[in-house]
């Protein structure tokens, strides 16, 4: 992939990455524009810049998918942790590394550093776009420090100053995964898909820490986990769920083929309907979008964990609610 720079901000790059994490099938430009409450061109720039630094990748259907485990670590409620993760990612991006080095050579003159970086990598973007984006990413991540009068220098922080944040974020993620597996049941969780289900559950559990600010995100992540878990159940039972889109349709199809009990089906349909209320904008039945009660969000995540564990028990011949 050739190098290029797109006019965007660190907040939009992080937001586009967050949007992609909430849809395992990938996100398009309009989805991200809605998620960021911005115009499509701004959303596309954020997606393209996230792709440039390795967080996302564009597939052959023009959807952007998560491309790095760092994306998961980046979506945290702590600004310092976000900055540390972004810095770790950014400083592996060759044009930024060169831009930062040239700032030292040009004694902080960003325009000269941008021109030189553009020349080294044959970047099509205008100098002002390179300056705007790389300075915003650099200052957000605390990799660059403003000297005033439009001058910037590389921060004097050594890796030891920000690596503890990286270690903290990673440790928090590991602790959350252990808590999720314990909540499901350690033995039962070993049956659960470790790539398509567990990561979404862990993210939903972590996002409960900021449920008052964003009650929707934990539901969307847990809903993705449930959707993928139903796919796992269907595959386990040899049930064709082609064209069964969403939790409700999958639960119906699996039940019809004796892959779920009626009680399990209706428990899953509760999760499906709440997810639909949280994720589908204006509901034609009420002609409005549903607000989300944070208590519903907390219950949704915990019901998801319990139901997954109970379903694994049922697969093994033990019926429990």
- Token pair belonging to 83: 């900055």
Residue 153, pLDDT > 90, answer no
Torsion sign, CA atoms 212, 299, 208, 53:
negative
- In percent, the amount of the chain with pLDDT more than 70 equals 97
The pLDDT of residue 11 is above 70 = yes
pLDDT at 75: 78
**Domain-by-domain residue ranges, the chain?**
1-157, 162-315
Burial of 91 (0-12, 13-18, 19+ CB in 10 A): middle
Question: End-to-end alpha-carbon separation of the chain, Å?
Answer: 51
Q: Is a pLDDT exceeding 80 seen at residue 55?
A: yes
Pairs from 138-141 (Cβ < 8 Å, separation ≥ 24): 138/90, 138/96, 138/99, 138/100, 140/9, 140/10, 140/11, 140/83, 140/86, 141/10, 141/83, 141/84, 141/86, 141/87, 141/90
Q: What is the mean pLDDT of residues 177-186?
A: 94
- In sequence order, the 6+-apart residues with CB closer than 8 A to the CB of 235 are none
Q: What is the DSSP letter of 8?
A: -
Cα separation, 299 vs 4, whole angstroms: 44
Where helices occur in 37-190 by DSSP H, the ranges are 40-52, 70-74, 79-90, 94-105, 110-121, 127-140, 159-184, 186-189
Burial class (CB in 10 A: 0-12, 13-18, 19+), 189: buried
pLDDT tier for residue 150 given thresholds of 50, 70 and 90 = confident
Is it the case that residue 158 has pLDDT exceeding 70?
no
Q: At what angle do helices 127-140 and 94-105 cross, to 10 degrees?
A: 90
Mean pLDDT of 112-138: 95
Query: Which fold, 162-315?
Result: 1.20.120
Low-confidence winner among 34-38, 39-43, 136-140, 147-151 (lowest mean pLDDT)? 147-151
Helix (H) or strand (E) run with residue 30 in it: helix 29-36
User: Confidence band (pLDDT; 50, 70, 90) for 173?
Assistant: confident
pLDDT tens profile 217-245: 899 999 999 999 999 999 999 999 999 99
Residue 146 pairs in a beta bridge with: 152
The total of other beta-carbon atoms located within 10 Å of residue 252's CB is: 18
Mean pLDDT of 21-28: 84
Please give the pLDDT value at position 21.
Answer: 87
Mean pLDDT score, 288-306: 95
**Cβ proximity of 45 and 6 under 8 Å:** yes
pLDDT, mean of residues 68-95 = 86
Q: Looking at the DSSP assignment, which residues form a beta bridge with residue 144?
A: 154
pLDDT in the model for residue 280 = 77
CATH topology of domain 1-157: Arc Repressor Mutant, subunit A (1.10.10)
Q: Given this model, what pLDDT does residue 5 score? A: 97
Mean pLDDT of 111-125: 94
- State how far Cα 219 lies from the chain centre: 13
Distance (Å, rounded) from C-alpha 266 to C-alpha 96? 52
Q: What burial class does residue 181 get, using C-beta atoms within 10 Å of its C-beta: 0-12 exposed, 13-18 middle, 19+ buried?
A: buried
Residue 68 DSSP SS3: coil
């Amino acid at each position: 992939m050739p190098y290029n720079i797109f006019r965007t901000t660190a907040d939009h790059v992080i937001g586009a990455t967050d949007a992609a994490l909430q849809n395992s099938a990938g996100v398009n430009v309009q989805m991200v524009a809605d998620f960021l409450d911005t115009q499509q061109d701004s959303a596309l720039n954020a997606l393209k810049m996230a792709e440039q630094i390795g967080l996302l990748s564009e597939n052959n259907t023009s959807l952007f998918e998560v491309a790095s485990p760092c994306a998961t670590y980046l979506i945290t409620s702590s600004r310092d942790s976000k900055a540390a993760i972004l810095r770790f990612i950014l400083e592996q991006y060759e044009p930024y590394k060169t831009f930062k080095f040239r700032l030292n050579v040009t004694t902080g003159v960003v325009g000269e550093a941008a021109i030189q970086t553009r020349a080294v990598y044959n970047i099509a973007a205008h100098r002002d776009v390179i300056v705007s984006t790389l300075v915003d990413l650099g200052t957000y991540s605390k990799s660059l420090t403003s000297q005033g009068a439009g001058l910037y220098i590389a921060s004097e922080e050594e890796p030891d100053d920000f690596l503890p944040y990286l270690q903290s974020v990673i440790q928090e993620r590991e602790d959350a995964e252990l808590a999720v597996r314990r909540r499901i049941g350690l033995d039962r969780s070993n049956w659960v898909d470790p790539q398509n289900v567990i990561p979404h559950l862990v993210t939903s559990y972590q996002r409960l820490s900021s449920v008052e600010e964003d009650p929707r995100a934990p539901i969307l992540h847990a809903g993705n986990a449930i959707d993928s878990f139903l796919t796992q159940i269907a595959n386990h039972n040899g049930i064709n769920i082609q064209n069964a889109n969403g939790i409700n349709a999958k639960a119906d199809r699996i039940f019809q083929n004796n892959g779920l009990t009626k009680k399990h089906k209706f428990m899953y349909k509760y999760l499906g309907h709440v997810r639909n209320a949280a994720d589908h904008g204006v509901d034609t039945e009420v002609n409005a979008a549903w607000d989300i009660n944070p208590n519903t969000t907390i219950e949704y995540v915990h019901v998801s964990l319990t139901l997954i564990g109970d379903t694994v028990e049922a697969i093994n011949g033990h019926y429990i609610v």
